[in-house]
Structure 1
Amino acid sequence: MTHTVTVGDRKITYELTRKKVKNINLRIKPDGTVHVSASTAVTIAVIERFIRGRSDFILGAIDKFNAKNENRKILFVSGEKLSLLGTQHILYVKKGIRNYATDSDGNITLYVTDTDDYELKYKTYIIWLRSQCLPLMTLLCKRAYDEHYGKLGIDFPTIKVKDMRSRWGSCIPSKKILTFNVHLMEYPMPAAEYVVAHEFTHFLQANHSARFYEELARYMPDYKQREKLLK
């Protein structure tokens, strides 16, 4: 049963479970939710006094969780809507004996051993997203190469995908490697095509000079409109 305690100008919502335990047990799960277990002999008033006495710790843990995840768009709860390549999908999270994800009839289902573990759900989702992203980015790279960049004497590079925090892609000309952010799958296809062209252009111009954008525009005249999709 869910209860709420007011502490100053903040509220602490907790899930109470009645068990045959001697003490009041407090647990803050990885998803930031507060769980309390106590015997039926312990009154709500006593439990709330217990929570208020530990409010600094509880609120600090909640704030730390929120700060860590403030930039994450996906909460990983059942019924949540995910956008993949411009199409809406419904996410379902289910308990399983191993961690994996499936995509069927417009639904994405995460099977995880602990449905309360945000990091586990995130990791499982990223592994699945990588399996979707690599073939797509490889296909887009081959298309751009055949249509334009291969004609300029560039060798076809090794294509990689990663969970990148601060960039959409990277180019290492000396090693002939292009790496793309797996989260490009969460944006419309023209955005992914833009990043492919952007990184391929770095084989011709290493920096973001005027010449770089002139080269990019030769292949993709509407690159500015596509770039806006990522913002």
Structure 2
Amino acid sequence: MYKKQQIKKTWPYPVSIITKPGLRGMYIRLTRDKKVKVTAPLSMPVEDIIRFIDSRDAWIRKNLARMADPVSYECVTGEMHYFFGKQYPLHFFEAPSGGIALRNGRLEMDMTPRTKNRALLYRKLMKEELKKVLVHYIRLWAPQMKVRPTSVTVKVMKSRWGSCNVKTGELCFALDLVTKPEPCIESVVVHELNHLLETGHTPRFHALMTHWLPDYKERTKILTAWPREFI
């Protein structure tokens, strides 16, 4: 049972507070749209929650400042888009079937005369391109880590880069990863596969991440350096 806590105090950034039973500590998460989400035990006094947020104010401000501002995209010719960590102008061409490829320093999107919604087609093609890269890294890392994921899907995710159902082995990844450099995508893949070895973000989980990818923390920081497109 979750409870959204109403607190009269305000901060210079949007804060939402959720209390849950069974928690032992408080946690802060920054969303991609620059919001602060705080999770606290259901029995935690409001005054303690306020003090906790105030104690992390410098950290919150520092990391919010590092995050790129959201960008609005219209999916028109010449518009700049990130594709696996590099920026390219988008160009459209009529073709027998839909597809997308890097040609002549441009991100060229083929579409049929029947295409009515360019943005929808672009999103569909980006899902296909990202899934190819995800499958590549899953096939590379799963045998090394001795885990067996069962499936991989891609969808728009607002507050996380990926998820893992530890019971079924199903993996899900944020479509926005298609805009990030491949080392960052690889790190997210290893992160989700690692949950098949250790469910929570425990000391053992982070020790395993360091074992697989010694620079995983640096890769994680880079994830927030690019504007969010698919949210």
Instruction: Place the TM-score, normalised by the shorter chain, in its bin.
Output: 0.5 to 0.7
CA distance in 2, matches of 1:132, 1:227: 21
> Which residue matches 1:51?
none
Write out aligned runs for 1:10-49 (5 A).
none
Structure-1-length-normalised TM-score: 0.58
- How many angstroms does 1:72 deviate by? 4.5
Matched, 1:131 2:128: yes
Percent sequence identity is: 26
> Which residue matches 2:79?
80
Write out aligned runs for 1:107-186 (5 A).
107-110=106-109, 111=111, 120-146=117-143, 148-150=144-146, 154-186=147-179
Matched, 1:197 2:196: no
Larger Rg: 1
Q: Which of 201, 213, 226 is the equivalent residue of 1:220?
A: 213
CA distance in 1, matches of 2:96, 2:73: 21
* Count, aligned residues: 154
Q: Which runs of 5+ in 1 are unaligned?
A: 1-69
> Which residue matches 1:42?
none
Q: CA RMSD in A?
A: 2.7
Structure-2-length-normalised TM-score: 0.58
Q: Which runs of 5+ in 2 are unaligned?
A: 1-68, 225-231
> Which residue matches 1:58?
none
CA distance in 2, matches of 1:175, 1:107: 40
Amino acid at match of 1:149: M
> Which residue matches 1:91?
90
How far does the alpha carbon of each residue in 1:103-137 deviate from its partner, in whole angstroms, 9 at most, with x for none? Answer: 2414234448799x8xx332211100011111110
Give the SS at the match of 1:82: strand
Given the superposition, is the C-alpha separation of residues 167 and 122 from structure 1 closer, same or farther in structure 2, using an over 3 Å criterion? farther
CA distance in 2, matches of 1:123, 1:142: 29
Q: Is the 8 A contact 2:149 2:171 kept in 1?
A: no
Higher relative contact order (CA 8 A, sep 6+): 2
CA distance in 2, matches of 1:137, 1:215: 20
- How many angstroms does 1:87 deviate by? 2.8
How far does the alpha carbon of each residue in 1:148-190 deviate from its partner, in whole angstroms, 9 at most, with x for none? Answer: 312xxx2243122222222111100111111111221101111
